[in-house]
Structure 1
Amino acid sequence: MAAPRPRSNTTDNRRFLGQLSLPERNFVAEALRTETVGGVLLLAAAIAALIWANTPLRDSYAGVGDFHFGPAALGLNLSVQHWAADGLLAVFFFVAGIELKRELVAGDLRDPKAALLPVAAAVCGMAVPALVYTLTNAAGGGSLAGWAVPTATDIAFALAVLAVIGTSLPSALRAFLLTLAVVDDLLAILIIAVFFTDTLDFAALGGAVAGLGVFWVLLRKGVRGWYVYVPLALAIWGLMYNSGVHATIAGVAMGLMLRCHRHEGEEHSPGEHVEHLVRPLSAGLAVPLFALFSAGVVVSGGALGDVFTRPETLGVVLGLVVGKSVGVFGGTWLTARFTRASLSDDLAWPDVLAVASLAGIGFTVSLLIGELAFTAGPVLTDEVKAAVLVGSLVAAVLATALLKMRNAKYRALCEAEERDEDSDGIPDIYEQDNPAYHLRMAEIHERKAAEHRRLAEVAGGAGEEYDRPA
């Protein structure tokens, strides 16, 4: 029987973004720790790409990115840039698939009431940027092909911003941001699969589907061994690539097949175990390498000026900065309004707006969709990439300003969440209603009082009273 996983109190009909359950808090902390390290590496890779592409070494940057290798007989003689976008990002979406499966079967998305808030925020946070882009280009006579570019959120880059500016969000806001990004990734996958598949090779697609079926059967039979699954996964990926469907779909499909609920006696489910192994590869290698070969656009005064004058690029910037903030914040507020829910006493609506602004940092998937949307003109593709960088930067600056205004409040909340006076490894905030906790604290204070009296006697004191808290 699957061990039920405690959920946060966001399931309350009257309160949301409140204190998480202890298991949920620990899981979020571990997941975001890895993502934060990956985000810093991602940021470093993006900066390296920009430097490489805007120095006298720019020709070598283009040469390395265009270098082809791979088995041509299998239709896989790809450039380095394509290997990064189609191959390495499949690892990223594999982890995203596991995260989504875990949320659906063991996390907040399992409960429709708890899922309503992040799902509504994510849907509005993708619909409004697409609408902003469409209106901007309809008014300016631009191409509508890039409507999906500003719809994605890059959780790793957002966490890198948090790490760089030296602020930390309370666990409830961090969990909301993580769940929002998981739903965002799912919707981005659906957009790529539906809107960016031009032609289909049904034989290759049938082979990929058959491979996924074998993958599922092996998992259900309990077959173990990386030497079984890795070659099979590579075959599925290659068939999916040749089918015309974007190859990253294979990654998310395999991630969704892993079991993410725990059986009795299990410390970790297979999905959690695989995610723990693969997440560092995704965050530390796959995504930074993709950024290295996708973010290298030529930046000049004229090019930056064009970002704000061309409708396609202006639509991307406005979609990320304005559309994401309005969409995520509006979706959250409307959900609270129409479900008669109220915000946690520890937080205020400006906190939700700050998280909504962070969601405007759309780097990895936005760059990928930009490459898929504007394949006809490499110049426009680079300009759209520049717009993604500018929009993400503006969103990061805006979020930084909003977060810094509330940093003292966040610091106090985080300290309260981390306080562990009895040093038992469990934060005191989770034990305050437990009689055993109060008994243990009384024993600790009694020991401190006895030690104080002993020291006073040694020093020749007269048994100075120790003011023991009640």
Structure 2
Amino acid sequence: MASPSNERRQFLGLLPLPERRFLADALRTETVGGVLLLGAAVIALIWANVWPHAYETVRGLTFGPSAPLHLDLPLEAWAQDGLLTIFFFVAGIELKREFVAGELRTPSAALLPVVAAACGVALPAVLYTVVNAVGDGHPAGWAIPTATDIAFALGVLAVVGSHLPSALRAFLLTLAVVDDLIAILIIAVFYSTGITFWALGAAFAGLVLFWFLHRRGVGRWWLMVPLGVAVWALMHESGVHATVAGVAMGLILRCHREEGEEHSPGERIEHLVRPLSAGFAVPVFALFAAGVPVSGKVLGEVFTEAAPLGVVIGLLVGKSVGIFGGTWLAARYTRATLNPQLTWSDMFALSTVAGIGFTVSLLISDLAFVDDPHLAELCKEAVLVGSLTCAVVGTLLLKRRNRYYRQLCEEEDRDSDGDGIPDVYQRQG
């Protein structure tokens, strides 16, 4: 009999029951958020194409104090820099939790989603760069097709893959968490300009104070929320993208449980803030970011201009092949083995769905082409085209396996004695 150290770890096997319950709650919120996100994107497209003047007027409304931190911003910028900070705050908590309690807490378990996410970022960037090098295009947009939109992807799964095994859904969520970390680093390093060091130093001091108060057990919202807003405003003034402040504060929160705690502070705060992020912040951002003109001429430019074409190819080919290839390589050359109930065709279908890039891709489109609004709009159009194509292809691939997924989920959820613990976990015990 093989020793425990030599046993192969099952990849996408049954999750521990507490982790399964936590993920079920998180996925439920993100799935609803995905539906709202889709609705907001549709409204934005209709509004921008039927009443374009009204859309641009509302999006350009400016308000906020001009001194001392230059926060007199248009509504579009408030949605982009302000509301998305809530989204990245939740992403920061997710990252911290994954590192201390989730799939990323051990190197062997973390290797698969980390390699898959890294390949799913690298290949789209390479394909975009190649297309733009050949077509004499614009290399600055290389990061646009690198991000997976977890809310949108889970919204698709809710419609067509409602009976996916929990481990497969958890893999998508973990993959997106790592993907978000890479996207955050890309934004901070490549899309921050004109650094104002006094503001950056003050923002860092605010983060240190936030850490100190949190470690001292100070959790009063009327103190921590204003402090968080001040850190965000200083980060915005510093020239580093303001959403980085949200990630930093999320990473500061304690996500491990101490003796006598049912939930850690990070878990409690994430439970409170996640519905605000998925149900309000991200859909409102989409409302003011996804309104791009749709016409035969514009769609023609998407497939003839190098930059938007690189985005479409990056999402459709780069993300799906990169994620699937990275997963296969990690499983092939590590001790992980695929759950025998699943097939590699399931993984390819999931990888295709992960090619849905929306929220962060729209954000990077604006950041990459801040001096060329027309090209930014074309790249946003390309994000919509590429994401829609990935959704359709992923739907077709997943749909044929949904009956089999239903049987797996029924087996996972069966609770014959009604004690709240699925039978499969009791059989393991």
Using structure 2 for the length normalisation, give the TM-score: 0.97
The residue correspondences of 1:140-219 to structure 2 (distance < 5 A) are 140-165=135-160, 167-219=162-214
Q: Deviations over 1:46-85 (max 9, x none)?
A: 0000000010x21110000011000011310000000000
2:29 is aligned with 1:34: yes
Distance in 2 between residues matched to 1:18 and 1:12, nearest whole Å: 14
2:79 is aligned with 1:84: yes
Q: Is the 8 A contact 1:167 1:404 kept in 2?
A: no
Higher RCO (CA 8 Å, separation ≥ 6 residues): 2
Q: What's the Cα RMSD here?
A: 1.3
Counterpart selection for 1:415 from 410, 416, 421 = 410
Distance in 1 between residues matched to 2:304 and 2:333, nearest whole Å: 39
Distance in 1 between residues matched to 2:196 and 2:100, nearest whole Å: 33
Q: 1:163 Cα shift?
A: 2.0
Distance in 2 between residues matched to 1:114 and 1:340, nearest whole Å: 10
2:115 is aligned with 1:120: yes
Distance in 1 between residues matched to 2:89 and 2:372, nearest whole Å: 30
Distance in 1 between residues matched to 2:111 and 2:138, nearest whole Å: 34
Counterpart selection for 2:356 from 357, 361, 366 = 361
- Matched residue type, 1:70: G
The residue correspondences of 1:4-19 to structure 2 (distance < 5 A) are 13-19=8-14
Counterpart selection for 1:64 from 47, 58, 66 = 58
- Matched residue type, 1:22: L
SS in structure 1 of the partner of residue 357 of structure 2: coil
The residue correspondences of 1:43-442 to structure 2 (distance < 5 A) are 43-55=38-50, 57-73=51-67, 74-165=69-160, 167-434=162-429
Q: Deviations over 1:152-201 (max 9, x none)?
A: 00000011112233633111100100000000000000000000012100
Q: Deviations over 1:303-349 (max 9, x none)?
A: 11211111101100000000000110000000011114321110000
Structure with higher Rg: it is 1
Distance in 1 between residues matched to 2:7 and 2:422, nearest whole Å: 22
Q: Is the 8 A contact 1:307 1:313 kept in 2?
A: yes
After superposition, the Cα gap between the structure-2 partners of 1:195 and 1:431, relative to the gap in structure 1 and judged at 3 Å, is same
Distance in 2 between residues matched to 1:110 and 1:163, nearest whole Å: 28
Distance in 2 between residues matched to 1:132 and 1:367, nearest whole Å: 18
- Matched residue type, 1:306: E
Distance in 2 between residues matched to 1:256 and 1:12, nearest whole Å: 33
SS in structure 2 of the partner of residue 281 of structure 1: helix
Distance in 2 between residues matched to 1:224 and 1:134, nearest whole Å: 46
- Matched residue type, 2:45: L
Q: Deviations over 1:274-315 (max 9, x none)?
A: 000000110011000000000000100111121111110110
Q: Deviations over 1:187-227 (max 9, x none)?
A: 00000000001210001101100100110110111112100
Q: Is the 8 A contact 2:160 2:398 kept in 1?
A: no
21-30 or 242-251, larger mean C-alpha shift: 21-30
Distance in 1 between residues matched to 2:313 and 2:401, nearest whole Å: 25
Q: Deviations over 1:132-160 (max 9, x none)?
A: 10111111111101000000000000111
333-342 or 272-281, larger mean C-alpha shift: 333-342
Distance in 2 between residues matched to 1:100 and 1:171, nearest whole Å: 19
SS in structure 2 of the partner of residue 413 of structure 1: helix
Distance in 1 between residues matched to 2:212 and 2:107, nearest whole Å: 29
- Matched residue type, 1:67: L
Distance in 2 between residues matched to 1:370 and 1:110, nearest whole Å: 33
Distance in 1 between residues matched to 2:173 and 2:156, nearest whole Å: 15
Unaligned stretches of 5+ in structure 2? none
Distance in 2 between residues matched to 1:412 and 1:155, nearest whole Å: 25
Instruction: Give the structure 2 partner of residue 3 of structure 1.
Output: none
Distance in 1 between residues matched to 2:196 and 2:113, nearest whole Å: 36
After superposition, the Cα gap between the structure-2 partners of 1:143 and 1:393, relative to the gap in structure 1 and judged at 3 Å, is same
Q: Is the 8 A contact 2:160 2:402 kept in 1?
A: no
Unaligned stretches of 5+ in structure 1? 1-8, 435-470
Q: Is the 8 A contact 1:132 1:323 kept in 2?
A: yes
Distance in 2 between residues matched to 1:70 and 1:340, nearest whole Å: 55
Distance in 2 between residues matched to 1:136 and 1:191, nearest whole Å: 20
After superposition, the Cα gap between the structure-2 partners of 1:67 and 1:39, relative to the gap in structure 1 and judged at 3 Å, is same
SS in structure 2 of the partner of residue 164 of structure 1: helix
